[in-house]
Structure 1
Amino acid sequence: MSWTASGERGLLPLIGDTPLAWIPADAHGHTGFHAKIESAGIGGMKARAAVAMLAGATARGELTPGAPVVESTSGTLGVGLALAARALGHPVILVVDNEIESDMRALFTAFGVRLEVVEHQHPEGGWQQARLDRLAQVLAAVPGAYWPDQYNNPDNAAGYAEMAREITDQLDRVDVLVATVGSGGHCAGLTRVLRRRWPELRVIGVDSVGSRIFGQPARQRVMRGLGSSILPRNVVYPDYDEVHWVGPVEAVASCRAVAARTCLAGGWSTGAAALVAGWAARREPGARVLTVFPDGPHRYLRTIYDDEWCTTRGLFAPAAMRPVEIADPGQVEVSGWARCRMVRDPAAAVPV
C-alpha cells in the first residue's frame, strides 16, 4: 500500500502489500483455500482501517493536528491505530477491558499508548458496551479528542479497498469470500470492490457464538476480535449469502491444525476463518475460496497455543467436523459451529 503520494511518511508505506498463501487440505477432508496473510504487514490488518479513518477525519477537519485519538478495542485495532496515529502525529488513548492479554498491555505500554482499563462488564452489552461507556467519559474529559468509532465509521470499510485491489492482482478468480465479522469493515470493503470484478462472488460471514451481529443473543464470549455485543452499522447485511457461527473449541482446533501443517498461525479470527474456508472449499470442489488471516500468533501464545489455558477452559473437547444447519437465526440459540442461509439484520423487521 502506497501512502507516499498523500504525504505520509515513516512506517506507513509498509502497511499492506501482504502475500497470499495457499493453505493445503487438512486431515478431516477440508480442502485447500487461499488466505491473505495480514500479519506480514506492519500493524496487522486493522492498520489499513486505522489509516483510512484518521486520514478521512483529517480531510474533513474532524481531527486537528496533534489532537488525541481515543478508541475502544479488544486489542487488534489498537495496534494498527497506535502505528497510524503516531506516524501522523497524534497521541492515542485506548479503552480496553480487564480481559486483554498481559502481553498486549505490555506492548501498548512500549508504544507509549495510554490505556483506560474497564474492570466490569455492562450487564447487557458486555465488555463492548462497558468500554464505550468509559470512552464517552474520556471524550468528555479530553478537549479536542477524536473518536474514530470503528463500528460505524464508513472509512473503516474504505480502508480495505487497497487490500481488494491487491487480491485482484494476485488471483485471476475468486468464487467464495469467507470473512470474519466484528466491526464489519473488512468484509464490506472487500465485497464492494471484489464484486465489481467478480459479480457472482459468494460471501460467507463468520461470527462468534454469543455474538448479536446476525440475530443470536449476546452472551459472554471467550473469543476476541470477532463477534459483537452491539450492532455495528458497518455490517452490510445484503452482502452475505450465509453466515456461520464458530465456537472457541472449533477455533482452537482450527488454529492449531493450520499451525501444525503450515507454520502459519493466528488468533481466534484466523482459526474461525480457516475452519469455514476449508469447509467451503470441500463443499464446492473446483471453487476458488479466499479468506483473510487478520493477525499473527504472538498475542495468543498464552491462550490459544497454551495447553494449560485451553485445558482449564475445556477447549480441548471434541470439535465439530461440520456445522449444524439452522433455518432462522432468531429461533435457535447455537452453542457451537452452526450455519444459516437466512441472513437477517436484527434491527430490521424482515429478512434481507
Structure 2
Amino acid sequence: MYTHIAEAVKRPDLISLQPDVVCLRFETMKIYSALGAVRHLLESGTVKPGDTLVDSSSGIYAHALALACHRYGMKCHIVGSTTVDRTLRAQLEILGVTLEQVRPSQNLRLDQELRVRRIAEILEENPSYHWMRQYHDGIHYHGYRDVAGAIARELPDGPLALVGGVGSGASTGAIATYLRDAGRDVSLVGVQPFGSVTFGSEHVPDPDMIIAGIGSAIEFRNVRHDLYDRIHWVNFDCALSGAVELLRSSGIFAGLSTGAAYLATQWERRRDASRTYVFIAADTGHRYVESAYARHAEAEHIDALKPHEITSLDELRHPWSTTSWSGLRAPAPRTADDSVTRAGG
C-alpha cells in the first residue's frame, strides 16, 4: 500500500507493443525526478520541511514538484509557461502552490527567458527560497535509478535502444547512464523539436511547436550530449502523426513528445533490428486534446514519413531530420546574426 499519491503515480508501465518494441508509459514522468531531488535535499540538510522550493516549468515538472512538496511537507512556488492549462492550474492551486504564469510569448526563447528572469527576482525578494534548477542541477538524475532498475528486471538480457525526448537531460540521460553502469549495452536516441538550441536546431524554427518540454531555447547544463548516439528533430506535424498512430494501433493516449519518440523508434528499428527498443511516454495526451488531437484528421500514416539523414547541422530541415551523434559534445552556439541568416535561407 502506498502512503502518498506521488509514490503511486510515479511508477511507469512497461507495455510490449511488439516483441522488440516496448513503451515505458508514465502518467507524469518527472515525479521521479522531483521526488528524488527533494528527498536528496532533505537528507543532505540543504532544505528542511516547511521551506519553499521554487522553479520554472512548462507543465509536467510543475505538477511533479507540487506533489513532491506535498509529500514532504514543503511549500512550492512555480513560474509557469502559458502552456500550464486550466486543469493543471486548478490542481496546483488546490495543492497550495503559488503559481505565476508569464505573459504570452511568440517564441519559446522569450517564454523561457521571462521565466528565468522572474525566478531571479523571486530569489532576490526571498533569499530563503531554494531554487530547484531542474535544468542544471544533477540531483535530478537520482530519481531515475529505480526506472533503470525496472527496465533491467523486466526486459531480457541483450542490447537495448532507449528513445525519448531530451528535455532537461535528466530522464533519458539518467536512465541510459544507470543501465550502462550496470553493464547493459544501451544505444541512446534523443528526440528534439526544431528551434531548440540543445542540439543546434535554433536556426530552424517551428511555428507550431508546442512540445517545449523536449527542447530548449536556452542552455540546459543537465544535458550530457556525449551520452547520445542518435538524434531526431521532429516537427509538430510529424509528432502529431506519431501520437495519433500510437493511439490508433495500441490504445496508448500520450503527449506529442511520445508521438515523436514512437516515430523515431520505428525508423531506428528499421535501421537496426538487433536491439529491443524502449520509447518513453512521458505524460498522457489530455493537455494536447485541443491543440493537437482535435486535428487528428490531418495526421499522416507514419509509413509515409521518412527523415532526412544529415551529416551537418546546416542540413537540418522540416519536417524530420536525423543524424548519428555518436557521443559528440554540445554544438557550438550560433550568433544572433548567424541564426537570422540561416533561418532566412
Output the TM-score relative to the length of structure 1: 0.85
**In the alignment, what sits opposite 2:5?**
11
**In the alignment, what sits opposite 1:23?**
17
**Change in 2 beyond 3 A, CA 1:103/1:70:** same
**In the alignment, what sits opposite 2:133?**
149
1:260 to 245, 248, 261: 248
Q: Distance in 2 between matches of 1:249 and 1:283?
A: 23
AA of the residue aligned to 2:65 = L
AA of the residue aligned to 2:312 = D
Alignment check: 8 A CA contact 1:185 1:235 kept: yes
2:317 pairs with 1:334? yes
**In the alignment, what sits opposite 2:264?**
276
2:31 pairs with 1:47? yes
SS in 1 for 2:130: coil
**RMSD over aligned Cα atoms:** 2.5
**Count, aligned residues:** 327
2:79 pairs with 1:95? yes
Q: Distance in 1 between matches of 2:322 and 2:129?
A: 41
Q: Distance in 2 between matches of 1:96 and 1:167?
A: 32
**In the alignment, what sits opposite 1:182?**
167
Q: Distance in 2 between matches of 1:99 and 1:285?
A: 37
Alignment check: 8 A CA contact 1:174 1:201 kept: yes
AA of the residue aligned to 1:336 = P
**In the alignment, what sits opposite 2:197?**
212
Question: Deviation at 1:140?
Answer: 1.8
Q: Percent identity?
A: 27
**In the alignment, what sits opposite 1:223?**
211
**In the alignment, what sits opposite 1:236?**
224
2:89 to 101, 105, 124: 105
2:128 pairs with 1:117? no
2:50 pairs with 1:66? yes
Q: Distance in 1 between matches of 2:186 and 2:20?
A: 18
**In the alignment, what sits opposite 1:191?**
176
Alignment check: 8 A CA contact 2:307 2:322 kept: yes
**Change in 2 beyond 3 A, CA 1:123/1:13:** closer
Q: Distance in 2 between matches of 1:36 and 1:180?
A: 13
Alignment check: 8 A CA contact 2:166 2:192 kept: yes
Post-superposition CA distance 1:177-224 (Å, at most 9, x none) = 112111000112111111134443211111111111111216463323
Question: Deviation at 1:230?
Answer: 1.2
Post-superposition CA distance 1:264-308 (Å, at most 9, x none) = 11112111111111211222224211111111122222222123x
Greater shift in the superposed pair: 103-112 or 238-247? 103-112
Alignment check: 8 A CA contact 1:269 1:293 kept: yes
SS in 2 for 1:211: coil
AA of the residue aligned to 1:22 = S
Post-superposition CA distance 1:13-54 (Å, at most 9, x none) = 325442210124xxxxxx961111112xxxx21000001111
AA of the residue aligned to 1:325 = E
Q: Distance in 2 between matches of 1:141 and 1:120?
A: 24
**In the alignment, what sits opposite 1:290?**
278
Q: Distance in 2 between matches of 1:53 and 1:122?
A: 32
The structure in which a higher percent of residues are helix is 2
**Change in 2 beyond 3 A, CA 1:279/1:317:** closer
Output the TM-score relative to the length of structure 2: 0.87
2:1 pairs with 1:34? no
SS in 2 for 1:306: helix
Q: Distance in 2 between matches of 1:334 and 1:95?
A: 32
AA of the residue aligned to 2:321 = A
SS in 2 for 1:303: coil
Q: Distance in 1 between matches of 2:210 and 2:279?
A: 22
Q: Which runs of 5+ in 1 are unaligned?
A: 25-30
